[in-house]
Chains A and B, each alone.
Chain A
Amino acid sequence: MANQGATFRPDTTEGVRELVAWAAAEATPLEILGHGTKRSVGRAVQAAYTLDLAALSGITLYEPEELVLSAKAGTPVAEIEALLSEHGQELPFEPMDHGPIGGGAAGRGTIGGIVAGNVSGPRRIKAGAARDHVLGVTAVSGRGEVFKAGGRVVKNVTGYDLARGLAGSWGTLAVMTEITVKVLPRPEATATLVIRGLADGEAVRTLCAAMGSPYEVSGAAHLPSAAAEAAGLPGRRAATCLRLEGFAPSVAYRLERLAALLSGLGGAERLEGAPSAALWRAIRDAAPFAGSDAPLWRASVAPMAGPALVSALEGHALSHFYDWSGGLVWIEAGSGIGDGGAAPVRAAVAATGGGHATLVRGDAAVRAAIEPFQTQPAALAALSRRLKAQFDPAGILNPGRMPAAN
């Protein structure tokens, strides 16, 4: 639900500091917003005012040879990706675009939002998450103080790693105003092997075997037939997808060897160029679940535990697909389930050896009734709350959004 109060749109770090310091003094909660593409993740924030960072925008440093880029928090990801692309580079963690599953437009989202949500895509299993690429930040704490952490170089162990520590904090610890990330060359070539018709268990074993090969797989997903169809792979058969990226001769070499390794599973189709890119974009953005408003869960478990998680949910009228070699499971609950599927999903995660599940889409009533983020054991939850209090003692930043910010 949108807030009723005023929206502030500062365009400098100092402007953010001034506003947060005022809000802290008045104990007035703020909702921190970029483009709002992930507003459906977590509980709706109850705040008197909105701090909209979209005007705090612009790339402030880009040195392709140093593999480093800095941008103000409200800079559109699309603008960053376009500039990187001109220089043959990219954000290695392949950030997902939350717009489509949230019912919004594609192509929006800010770098601040990406880091605040630690948003990554299929390449996360090889290249690491958004947090792995954060080198430094400037931020305003809930105390209304500007601080910086990290730097602009990769090798840096000077002090606590607060820059990475702010990743995934969903704007509840501090308002990031400028972010420095590590970037990498965009691969020269990409190819995808698609094996059709495998059941979940065999598919995930195959993905894990490929990940354990020396062929540097950079995407490993399994789409049951409905999801495969929705992701643009016709034929009403499940699709097990493995992506290879790099220099052309290397991709060709690895493709042959990986195909040979998997030859016992019947033939594999090969996708290159635009069809391959479109498939991985669909996987990245959970496209099979766009255009619906049914509750959508995102679970992270040990890769081999993915199929067991799904089996444990049998009878709950759910649909699903796997990324991250089986460890990332997207689960859409039937709209008829009262708690949005929270009870069975959480029970299934616990029964399959641990991990976490987050409700990334659901109507406000469901999100208010359940805890959208994974509940933590008491000692860990208490530590998280103490950390929150050290950054934001008045509790003014995105109150309610995460459990530690309740």
Chain B
Amino acid sequence: MTRLAMPKADEGVLARRGEIAEALRAIVGTEWVVDHPDGLRPFESDGLTAYRQTPLVVALPENTAEVQAILRYCSGSGIRVVPRGSGTSLSGGSLPLADAVLLVMSRFNRILEIDFENRAVTVQPGVTNLNITNAVADRGFYYAPDPSSQIACSIGGNVAENSGGVHCLKYGITTNNILGLEMVLVDGEVIRLGGKHLDAEGYDLLALMTGSEGLLGVVTEVTVRILQAPETARAVLLGFPSSEDGGQCVAEIIAAGIIPGGMEMMDRPAIHAAEDYVRAGYPRDVEALLIVELDGPKGEVDFLLDRVEQIGRANRASYVRVSQSETERQLFWAGRKAAFPAVGRISPDYYCMDGTIPRKALPAVLHRMRELSGQYGLLVANVFHAGDGNLHPLICYDANKPGELEAAEAFGADILRLCVEVGGVLTGEHGVGVEKRDLMPAMFSETDLMQQQRVKCAFDPDQLLNPGKVFPVLHRCAELGRMHVHRGQMPFPDLPRF
């Protein structure tokens, strides 16, 4: 993956490395700046390990004032900054730059306020997703978005990536569950958005910040909405002789007005890999396996489970199994949750993709993926958030075989272009980062991308925050700001007025 072009490193900044580290030490204290090569190594990549870059220097601030001072210093001196939470990004969102300070937010790990009556929890951004739920679970509450990395990923990273999870069909993604933020702009200004109240009083900057991949500001505090946990949850496994049948079943469940808490599909290679690994009791003789979880009040769950079972049978389900206990429900999920490592057991390496498609396009997309799999000579296993059309094809390859990594990447890019062709998008929850950056023109026109970059200019006119991510071509803000004016006649001169 050496082809990835990142912004050219600023030689002047590289030459000032020692001086920059000293300035950062003066802000956060000696022990919270890392510049020794051994100390920098753990920071050279995130969850997308194929890309590596040693950062200029790492700073670990502890509070908003320190973040402010660091950003003020960096922006004043023209130094780039890459923010990083727990470093679990699967798209290279926190990949360091050779000439950038890596701003690591892991010391922001305190829960600041739990307000059960207003159902709002305020935390520092380094708190892990799961620890928010853990902090409120004793009163029966939880934080709904549950990315599979929730044990490690930070809420600040969730905001940056607008993370999803298995339950977002029913409960929404991060943007639907955030009430407020405190953030620091690159010039050191502290901005507060929202709070415990609903909706913005002006422009919806919360919407722009959520999913901005660390390009607009550094989040220093997050207020999330918490929900009372459902009374109960039960799941059913439905096995189908074809992915078409499975896809039709998903469509009919939705058409019946049922929004399951989770609805996951796996194809035959994924089923086999998971079953070999976890022994969840999945059937091996089906082409598609659906896990449908109903959660909510007990009376509702039992009622809907019956309906889902009926819809499954009407769609030729050859295998139907309803969880009879909490242990069994957990077992159903164990296979799905272990799908990635399970594929890791059958292949030396795998590349996880993340496109979203309209649900109805599933059979056609799976069919085309099988063709591509033959063409590239690489196995692909599919796990799929069936309810919302979010695909996770896992392309199996062996990095030690010359050319296979490149083939896997080309295969992945073909899949994502296919997603866009059928009306979908390049990334459902992993973010663009560096991984999908150069595919952005498959989905957006130059005008679309320029308008997005103008948003960046409002927040960070010198483009110092996380440059080289998301946008394939960096335009200077001065260039983006120019208006191309064509003076002309008043349009529609003959239209009736008033």
Query: Which residues of A does B touch, CB under 8 Å?
Result: 6-10, 15, 18-19, 21-22, 24-26, 63-68, 88, 118, 120, 124-125, 128-129, 131-132, 141, 143, 145-149, 151-162, 164-165, 167-169, 173, 184-186, 188, 205, 208, 211-216, 246-247, 249-250, 252-254, 257, 300-305, 324, 327-328, 353-356, 358, 373-374, 376-377, 379-381, 383-384, 386-391, 393-394, 402-404
Contact = CB atoms under 8 A, between A and B. Distances in A.
A153 B231 contact: no
Contacts of A249: 299-300, 303
Contacts of A205: 117
A185 B252 CA distance: 12
Interface string B109-141: 000000111111000000000000000000011
A88 B256 CA distance: 9
B172 interface: yes
B409 to A, nearest CB: 18
26 contacts: A7-B498, A24-B483, A25-B487, A128-B176, A151-B423, A153-B388, A159-B449, A159-B452, A159-B470, A160-B452, A164-B204, A165-B203, A165-B208, A168-B204, A184-B259, A208-B119, A215-B297, A247-B303, A253-B299, A253-B300, A257-B297, A304-B118, A353-B195, A354-B197, A388-B203, A404-B203
A131 B207 contact: yes
Contacts of B230: 214
A153 B428 CA distance: 9
Interface stretch (B40-48, B69-77, B185-193, B313-321): B185-193
B300 to A, nearest CB: 3
B447 A354 contact: no
B364 interface: no
B492 A214 contact: no
Given A118-B204, A156-B427, 13 more contacts: A25-B487, A128-B172, A143-B483, A155-B173, A165-B204, A185-B254, A208-B119, A214-B229, A250-B304, A380-B191, A383-B205, A384-B202, A386-B458
Contacts of B258: 185
A171 to B, nearest CB: 12
Nearest to B389: A153
Interface string B70-104: 00000000000000000000000000000000000
A153 B490 CA distance: 38
Contacts of B252: 65
Contacts of A402: 202
Interface stretch (B28-36, B269-277, B284-292, B354-362): B354-362
Contact of A21 (B197, B451, B486): B486
A181 to B, nearest CB: 14
Nearest to B299: A253
Nearest to A300: B197
B426 interface: yes
B445 interface: yes
Contact of A301 (B140, B197, B445): B197
Contact of A65 (B254, B357, B444): B254
Interface in B415-440: 423-432, 436, 440
Nearest to B163: A157
Contacts of B454: 390-391
Contacts of A159: 432, 440, 443-444, 448-449, 452, 470
Nearest to A142: B483
Ranked 3 nearest A-B pairs via Cβ: A253-B299, A185-B257, A250-B300
Contacts of B425: 151, 153, 155-156, 158
B138 to A, nearest CB: 13
Nearest to A377: B192
Task: Tell which of B116, B162, B451 has the most Cβ of chain A within 10 Å.
Answer: B451
Given A66-B359, A157-B429, A302-B120, A129 B199 contact: yes
Interface of B: 115-120, 140-141, 161-162, 164, 168-169, 172-173, 175-176, 185, 189-193, 195-205, 207-208, 210-212, 216, 228-231, 251-252, 254-259, 296-300, 303-304, 356-360, 385, 388-390, 423-432, 436, 440, 443-445, 447-449, 451-452, 454-459, 470, 480-481, 483, 485-492, 495, 497-498
A185 B254 CA distance: 8
Nearest to B304: A247
Nearest to B197: A355
Given A154-B388, A384-B202, A161 B210 contact: yes
Contact of B164 (A155, A188, A354): A155
Contact of A118 (B199, B388, B480): B199
A134 to B, nearest CB: 9
B88 to A, nearest CB: 15
A357 B115 CA distance: 22
A152 B231 contact: no
A151 B424 contact: yes
B257 A129 contact: no
A161 B359 contact: no
A254 B254 CA distance: 22
A9 B303 contact: no
A384 B203 contact: yes
A389 B458 contact: yes
Contacts of B483: 24, 143, 393-394
Contacts of A253: 297-300
A164 B172 CA distance: 14
A249 B485 CA distance: 62
A376 B203 CA distance: 11
Given A147-B447, A208-B118, A374 B492 contact: no
Contact of B487 (A26, A120, A124): A26
A26 B210 CA distance: 36
A302 B197 contact: yes
Given A153-B356, A302-B196, A356 B201 contact: yes
A357 to B, nearest CB: 8
B191 A147 contact: no
Nearest to B451: A147
Given A168-B204, A212-B117, A125 B198 contact: yes
A19 B357 contact: no
A88 to B, nearest CB: 7
A167 B141 CA distance: 30
A388 B447 CA distance: 17
Nearest to B459: A383
Nearest to B436: A158
B189 A147 contact: no
B176 A373 contact: no
A19 B118 contact: no
A107 B202 CA distance: 26
B455 A160 contact: yes
Given A131-B204, A161-B210, A161-B211, A66 B198 contact: no
Contacts of A387: 203, 205, 455, 458
A212 B436 CA distance: 40
A354 B356 CA distance: 38
Contact of A66 (B173, B205, B360, B490): B360
Contacts of A149: 448, 451-452
A390 B257 CA distance: 42
Contact of B358 (A66, A124, A169, A327): A66
